[in-house]
Amino acid sequence: MRNWSRFLIGATLSVLLALGLTRFVGNEYFFFATYVVLQFIVLATAWNILGGYGGYVNFGASAFFAVGAYCAVALTQSYALALPLQILAAALVTGLLGFAVGALTLRLRGIYFSIATVAVAVICETVIMNWSFVGGARGTTVLQPAAPAFFSSYTRLLFFVMALLALLAVAFARFVETSWIGRGLRAIRDNEEAAESVGVPTLKLKLFAATASGALMGAAGAPFALYMNFIEPTSAFSLNYSVSALAMPLIGGSANWLGPVIGAILLAGTQQIVTVTISSELNVLIVGLLLVVFVVAAPHGILGLWHKLVARGGQRP
Amino acid sequence: MSAPLLQVGALFKRFGGFTALAAVSFDVPAGQRLGIIGPNGSGKTTLINCICGTLRHDNGSVRLSGVDVSALPTYRRTRLGLARSFQIPRPFYSMSVAQNIAVALEYGVGRRRVHASAARKEGLTVLDRLGLTAKANADVGSLTQVDLRRLELARALATQPRLLILDEVMAGLSSVEVDDMLETLASLNREGITIVMIEHIMRAIMGFSQRVICLDAGSIVADGEPAAVINSAIVQKIYLGG
C-alpha cells in the first residue's frame, strides 16, 4: 500500500510536470522529440506485459501499433471522432486482435505465438496497403485540428496525451506485476506445465496478457497520424517498432515495470539525439548494437545489473 | 456408498501408431497408498499425465470422487484436489523457495482461497514439514537435488490435495533420504491424503504401498498385495526375463 501511495505521488507529479512543460518550454521540437520517447514507453511497457512477465515474445508490435493508428484514421475519416475516443477505439480493436492471435496460438506452448505475430504484421500491412479508404500504399494526409485553448500547439496537446497514456500503461503494468496475475505469469514463464499443475489457469492468463498488451500498443499508435500529419503503411508498420518494443524491455530489464521505461528513455532518447546530430539512418543500427551488447553482457538488463551491484556492495563490510 | 476417490476407466492413449495406454482401468479408494511399477516405457508417466490432464487421453474416463474430469484442464483438476510431482523437478527458477510455495498456495486452492496471513502460515507449515524452512529465501538455483525433490513435493502439498500422485519423487536419493521421504509420505497419508506413487526403488514400493499395480506395454498385468504382485509369475518374467 505504501508503495502504491509513493507511486501515485510520483504519477501526479509527472502529470503536473508534463503540463508545466507544455506551458513553459518554448522549443517546439522538444515536444516533437519527447512524444516519440513517450510513445516508446507505452509500446515497451505493453510488450513487456506478455513478453517480460509471461515469456511469450511478440515480434509484431508494429502490427498492433499500425492497426491502432489506422483505426484512428478510419474513424476520423468516417465519423470525425474526438481524440480520446479514437484512442479508446484503437485500443479496443488491437485488444481484440491480441486476443484473436492468442486464442489461435497460445493453446500451444513455445514459439507458435511468436511466429504468428510475424504473420499478423505481414497480413495487416497487406490489407492496409490495399485499402484505399485510408490511403492505401500512397498514404493519406491527416490535418491537425486547432489546438484547444490551454495548449499553444496541437503537438503540445499530443505530447500531453501521450504522457498520460505512458503513465496509464506503466500504472497498469505495475498493477499486473504486483498482483496475483503477475505471479501467475511469472510461473508460466518459469515452467508452464508446473504452473498449470499447481492450479494456474495458464491459457486464461496468457490471453489476458495478450489482449492487454495488444490494446496498449494500439493506443500508442492511435495519435500517430495526427502527430505526423500524414500516414502511410511502410512507416507505420516499420520494423523499428517491433524491434524497439522488444529491445527496450530487454535492455532496461524485463522483470520489473521500471525496466521498459528505462530502456525506452535510453534507446528512444539516444535515437532522437542521433537523428538530430549525426544521421537518421543510424537509429536502428544503434538499437541492434545495444541489444547485442546487453544480451551478451547483461541478460537481465540494466535493472539486473543494478541489483547485482547492490547485492555485491551489501556483502562487503 | 460414495464413489472411490479416483476411478480410471478404460483409458486409451496413442501417439501416432504407438499405443501407450490400452484400456487401463483401476479404482483408488480414499486413503489408499498405491504403488505403480513397470519397466521403462510401460506407460507409467503417460498414465499420470492423462490422469492430471497434462495429456488428453483418446478414450475412456477419469473420475474424481465420481465426477468426470476428462474434459477439465489441469488447473481445474488441481483445484479439485489432485496434485502431482514431476519426474524431473520443475521448480519456478526465478523465484525463491517460499515464492514457489506461494504460487501453489495462491492458485492451487481455487475458490477455497484463504486469507493472506493464513496462507503464509500454511506455507511455513509445508516448508517445515519437508525441512526447507532454513532455505525459504534461497534461490531455487542453489538447491541440491534432494532439496529440489522436497520442493517439488512441498509445492504439490501447498495446493492442499486429497490425492497426491508422485512420479519417482525418490529417484537419486540416498538410502537415508529415502527413509526420510517415506516417513513424510506416511504421515501425510495418516492425515487422510491418498497417495499414488510411481517408483523404481523396490524397497520404497514394498515398504510403503498397501497395493501395487504393475504396468507393461500400456496394460495392467498385475494388481494386488505388494508381495503377491512382486512374486507373480508375470511380473517376475517382465523384470527378470525368461
Contacts of A199 in chain B (CB under 8 A): 75, 78-79, 104, 107-110, 159
Mean pLDDT throughout A108-122?
89
A256 — contact with chain B (CB < 8 Å)? no
Q: Are strands B67-68 and B82-85 parallel, antiparallel or unpaired?
A: unpaired
* pLDDT tens sequence across A126-154: 999 999 888 888 989 988 888 887 888 89
B chain contacts of residue A197, beta-carbon cutoff 8 Å: 52, 54, 74-75, 78, 83-84, 86, 156
User: CA of B179 to nearest chain A CA: how many angstroms apart?
Assistant: 26
pLDDT at B115: 66
pLDDT of residue A171: 95
The reply to whether residue B78 touches residue A198, judged by beta carbons under 8 angstroms, is yes
How far, in Å, CA of B182 to CA of B176, rounded? 10
- The answer to whether residue B1 scores a pLDDT higher than 70 is no
Q: Is there a contact between A199 and B91 if contact means CB atoms under 8 Å apart?
A: no
> Which chain A residue has the Cα nearest residue B159?
A198
Is the Cβ pair A193, B108 closer than 8 Å?
no
Torsion angle, alpha carbons of A229, A233, A235, A241, to 10: 120
Question: How large is the average pLDDT for residues A230-234?
Answer: 93
Residue B166, beta-bridge partner list = B85, B197
User: What pLDDT, on a 0 to 100 scale, did the predictor assign at position A38?
Assistant: 96
Query: Where is B198: in which H helix or E strand?
Result: strand B194-198
Contact B95 A190 (CB under 8 A): yes
Residue B239 contacts A, CB cutoff 8 Å: no
Question: Is residue B242 scored above 70 in pLDDT?
Answer: no
Ordered domains of chain B (ranges, CATH): 1-81+161-242 (3.40.50.300), 91-160 (no CATH)
Cβ pair B54:A202 closer than 8 A: no
- CB contacts of A187 in chain B (<8 Å) are 92, 95, 103, 107
Residues of B with CB below 8 A from A183's CB?
Answer: 99, 102-103, 106
Report the C-alpha gap between B142 and B101 in whole angstroms.
16
- Give the closest-approach CA distance of A191 to chain B in angstroms: 6
Q: What is the pLDDT of residue A317?
A: 43
A272 contacts A36 by C-beta, under 8 angstroms: yes
Cβ contact B86–A189 (<8 Å): no
Position B130 pLDDT exceeds 80: yes
Per-residue pLDDT at A80: 77
Computed over every residue of chain A, the mean pLDDT equals 90
Is it the case that residue B168 has pLDDT exceeding 60? Answer: yes
Nearest beta carbon to residue B107 from set A190, A200, A255: A200
Q: What is the crossing angle of helices A180-190 and A202-221, to 10°?
A: 110
Put simply, whether A317 touches B (Cβ < 8 Å) is: no
Whether B106 and chain A come into contact, CB under 8 Å, resolves to yes
Q: What is the pLDDT of residues B62-90, one digit of tens each?
A: 999 999 999 999 999 999 999 999 999 99
Model confidence pLDDT, tens digit, residues A42-91: 999 999 999 999 999 999 999 999 999 999 999 988 887 889 999 999 99
Touching check for B108 and chain A: CB below 8 Å? Answer: yes
Buried b (16+ CB within 10 A) or exposed e, B113-150: eeeeeebeebbeebbebbebeebbeeebeebeebbbbb
For residues B63 and B9, the answer to whether their CB atoms sit within 8 Å is: yes
For residues A110 and A120, what is the distance between their CA atoms, to the nearest angstrom?
17
Interface check for B75 against chain A (CB to CB < 8 A): the answer is yes
What separation in angstroms does the CA of B240 have from each of A4, B38, B39, B235? 65, 12, 11, 8
What residue ranges do the domains of chain A occupy? 2-240
- CA–CA distance, A253 with A237 (Å, rounded to integer): 25
* Residues of chain B found within 8 Å of residue A202, distances taken between Cβ atoms: 75
CB nearest B107 (choices: A189, A193, A198) = A198
| A190 to B104: CB separation less than 8 angstroms, yes or no | no
Mean pLDDT value of segment B104-129: 79
Distance CA B114, CA B101 (A): 14
**B212 in helix, strand or coil?**
strand
**So what's the ipTM on this one?**
0.91
Give the tens place of pLDDT for each residue, A147-181: 887 888 899 999 999 999 999 999 999 999 999 99
Contact with chain B for residue A186, Cβ under 8 A: yes
